[in-house]
Structures are given as C-alpha cells and as structure tokens.
Amino acid sequence: MHKHPQLPQAFADLGIEVRFLQALRKMNFVEPSDIQRNLIPPALSGRDVLGQARTGTGKTAAFGLPVLQQIDPAGRLQALCLAPTRELAVQVTGELKRIAEFANLHIVAVYGGQKVATQLHQLGRKPHCVVGTPGRVFDFMNRRVLDISAVRFVVLDEVDRMLDIGFRDDIRNILSRVTGSHQTIFVSATIDGEIKQLALRYMKDPLEVNVSQDRLTVDEVDQSYVPVDPHDKFRLLRLILEQQKPPILIIFCNTKHAARKLAKKLFDLGIEAKEIHGDLIQQKRDRVMERFRKHQIKVLVATDLASRGLDVSAISHIINYDIPKDPEVYVHRIGRTARMGARGTAISFISREQGGELTEIEKLINREIPKLEVPGFTPSTRQEFQPVQKAATPLFSRFSAPAPAAGPAGTATEPKRPPRTLGGKFKPSRSRRR
C-alpha cells in the first residue's frame, strides 16, 4: 500500500483514505484502538456489524470512518445515526464533523430541547448524515420533513442505553422505514439477548465484534471508595480536592436537587463549578457542555444525564458523591475518565448502609474496589459536624472564581446579586423537564 508521509499509516492500512487520514492527523490519532482495528475493515466491506466495546475506546471513530468514507458527496441524505441522549447526539455530531473536515460532507444533529424551526432549516440544507435522538427523528419522520427510506447507512450508538430509557418502539419504527438496500451497524458497551433479537430482526448476517474482554471497566481507571456518612460528604470532597487538585473532573449526584445544591456549595468556596441535569433548558445545557469541553469549567456536577455521551478529553477524576443504585450506571459514570488509554481516577463515597451496592458493583466488574485512606479525614458525629464556612481565598487557583471588580479608588466592590424572592416553595407548581 502506498505510504503517506506524516499521516497515520496504521489507519491507512485499515483502508482509510487520505482525506480522512488528514483529519485523523489533525485529531492526533496515531494507532487505532481495538474496536477501530476490528470494526473498520468489515464495515468498509459493507457487512452489517454488531460491535461491543467498553466506554472510552473510540467507538465513534470506529463506525464514523467507514460510514463517512462510503458516502457520496454528490448525493443527499445517506446516513442516519441514532443516539440515546441529546448530549451524545451533540458529541457524536462534533466528532463526525472533525473526521469529515476534508471530505466535503454536511452533518447535522436533531434532538429535543432545541427549536424545531432551527433544525428544520438545517435539514433543508440537504445534509449527507443526520445524527439524532430516536424521539426527535421519529417526530420529524411523522412530520414528513425527514425521509430516511433511501438511507444507505444506519448506525445505532449505545444501543443498550437506548433500550434502557425506553426507546424500543421508536427504534423499531425507524428501522422498519429504511426500505432501501442499506448497511446497519450497532455499537454498545454491553450486548444482551434483547439487543441480539433486535439485530436478528433488522440486520443481515451481522459480524459480531467483541473487544470488551469480559471486563466492563478499563484497567487505566484507578478505582477506590471511601466510607463516609452523608453529613460528612462535603468535608471529604473538600479534602480530596485540596489534596489531589484534579485538573478537570465530574462529580455525580443521584438527584437534580443534590446536584444543584452541591454546585452552589462549591461555587461559594471559590470553585468554578457548574451543574448539569434535566431541569436545565437545552440551550443552557449546551452552553455548559461547550465550556466544559473547552476546559473553561473545571468541575461539572452532574446527574446520570451525563453518564453517557460525555467524551471530554483529559477528565482526570470521577467522584461518585452519591453511589448509583444500578451497578451498570457506575460503569457508565467512570467510563468518562481514562479515555483512549489515558489514566484516570474514580472515587466513590459509600455510607455504612450502602455496602450491598458496593458488593453488586464489584460483582459486575469482577474486581475488588480498594478502600482509600484520605489523610486528615476522620469521621465526625452529627453533633460534632459544623457547616463549612465560605473560604476567604479559593481552595486552589485553577478552580478560582472571578475576582470582584475594583470600585472607586481601587476598592473592591461586591458583585451584584439578584434580588431575593419568596423562594421556590411559594411559586406555583410546574412540571419538571425530564
């Protein structure tokens, strides 16, 4: 095969063309991951593929490269990719756009929470590839503004998650409307009997590619837990942040209220922390995620809305402030760190009543999670525990909040705060955004 100086030859050996090799070089791709090495060649040959790999192993490029390479730039809509969440749809779209930078392909995302008119305008620009959540894709199909009957490539990303959150009917309805000759690719972190039944119905003799090696979590994640009572969690978190100084991290909470409350407490300590959960409008969620991807925000306090679809480079730490009740959610959460072979740290806070949850996680990942000793942390009783006062100076500079603006004669002025209101309990009830 002809060699291309300075281009990633390992990808060229898999059959990837120069226009995509140029993009991979710009993205600093050198060696393909296991899922990329095993999925790209059969996908380029036109076979249906059922791919299984752990989170953080490069599944988007594994299906994106062969699909985009087979698209005809002179044609119209040829590829459809379904993703379970809005965040993952945005993430996949961004990754595919980077891969297709030198290929003259138009890729758009459609998902709930954005103005329909905006997305209709994007569809009107004749995209070659549409990435979307099943609900919005099915809605646009019913409105007859998205015709997928002649689509040549169909990708289902994170199939297990789509089934978990109730997209079964939408997926079946969408797949049944692709009536032309087409290639189908499923990718997922786990593959169970239900996914195999879906593959049997909608795929043609699929090749099963499994590179998960029967281990759900990557070896590069240093996992540990700390025994802590609920009233001591924030004091423990503060100690870990002071001692380990993680450059960029995600802290997971189980509820929107807990995420909102924790983000405020961190901000009051001088830490630039932002919350992300289902109550935020989509525009604000997109803005927070964009800043986090650019490392302008160092701490993200999230519910499990963000446990899938977050592919942010250099996330050093995952802290499970609340341990999830579902062991598989734990796997998805810690998969946000140690991406593409980098090292990462995952620390879980476990109360004395949650030993059973920890055991279930260990059984699922088939390894024992060691206990972490945090220097200076000794459990306190509720009577001894005192609320942490607002820090006079930030904990450490990289998490600093903006300094107050200087007033007349160089004096500092307090930032303007919004007027106090009667509070949420006096507001009329409203439906929560899911």
In this structure, the number of other CB atoms found within 10 A of the CB of residue 407 comes to 10
Do the domains 221-400 and 9-210 match in fold? yes
What is the rounded CA–CA span in Å between residue 33 and residue 334? Answer: 19
Q: What is the pLDDT of residues 350-375, one digit of tens each?
A: 998 898 899 999 888 888 899 999 99
Token pair in block for residue 117: 């008119």
CB of 354 closer than 8 Å to CB of 362:
no
Which of these, 215, 277, 284, 283, lies nearest to 250 by C-alpha position? 277
Considering only CA atoms, which of 39, 35, 51 is closest in space to residue 159? Answer: 51
Among the residue ranges 83-87, 238-242, 396-400, 408-412, the one predicted with the least confidence is 396-400
Which tens digit of pLDDT belongs to each residue from 290-344? 888 888 899 999 998 655 556 676 788 999 999 998 888 888 888 778 666 678 8
Q: Is 338 left (phi over 0), alpha (psi -120 to 50) or beta?
A: left
Q: Can you give the three-state secondary structure of 169-204, one letter per residue?
A: HHHHHHHHCCCCCCEEEEEECCCCHHHHHHHHHHCC
What tokens does 377 get?
A: 């942390």
Q: Considering only 40-44, 98-102, 338-342, which range has the smallest mean pLDDT?
A: 338-342
pLDDT of residue 88: 87
Q: What does the pLDDT look like over 253-268, one tens digit per residue?
A: 999 999 999 999 999 9
Contact in structure between 227 and 352 (CB atoms under 8 Å)? yes
Residue that wins the pLDDT comparison between 397 and 79: 79
- Per-residue pLDDT tens for 52-79? 987 677 899 999 999 999 999 999 999 9
Instruction: Give the residue among 35, 75, 416 at the shortest CA–CA distance from 213.
Output: 35
Residue 425 pLDDT level (bands cut at 50, 70, 90): very low
Query: Which pLDDT value is given to residue 433?
Result: 46
Cα(294)–Cα(85) distance, integer angstroms: 20
303-332 CB burial, b ≥16 within 10 A, e <16: bbbbbbbbbbeebbbbbbbbbbeebbbbbb
Closest Cα to residue 111, out of 80, 90, 88, 132?
132
> Alpha carbon of 357 to those of 49, 219, 379: distances in Å?
35, 21, 21
Q: Which residue has the tokens 């809605």?
A: 139
Domain boundaries, the chain: 9-210, 221-400
CA distance 425 to 235: 28
Residue 7: C-alpha distances to residues 2, 11, 12, 21, 340 (Å) = 11, 9, 8, 6, 19
Which pLDDT score, from 0 to 100, does residue 429 have?
Answer: 47
The CATH class of the 9-210 domain is: alpha beta
Distance of alpha carbon 66 from alpha carbon 105, whole angstroms: 14
Query: How far is 64 from 27, CA to CA, in rounded Å?
Result: 14
Give the Cα separation of 331 and 325 in Å (integer).
Answer: 12
Angle at 23 between CA 22 and CA 29, to 5 degrees: 95
State residue 380 phi and psi, 5-degree precision.
-110, 155
Mean confidence (pLDDT) of the chain: 84
Instruction: Of 28-32, 119-123, 428-432, give the lowest mean pLDDT range.
Output: 428-432
Q: Is 132 in contact with 111 (CB distance < 8 Å)?
A: yes
- What is the mean pLDDT of the segment spanning 88-104? 94
Structural fold of domain 221-400: Rossmann fold (3.40.50)
Describe the strand order of the beta sheet including 207-210 as a list of residue ranges: 107-110, 129-132, 79-82, 153-157, 183-188, 49-52, 207-210
pLDDT at position 86: 86
- Spatial separation of the C-alpha atoms in residues 93 and 407, rounded to whole Å: 45
- CA 243 vs CA 209, 246, 370: distances in Å: 42, 9, 19
Residue with the bigger pLDDT between 376 and 379: it is 376
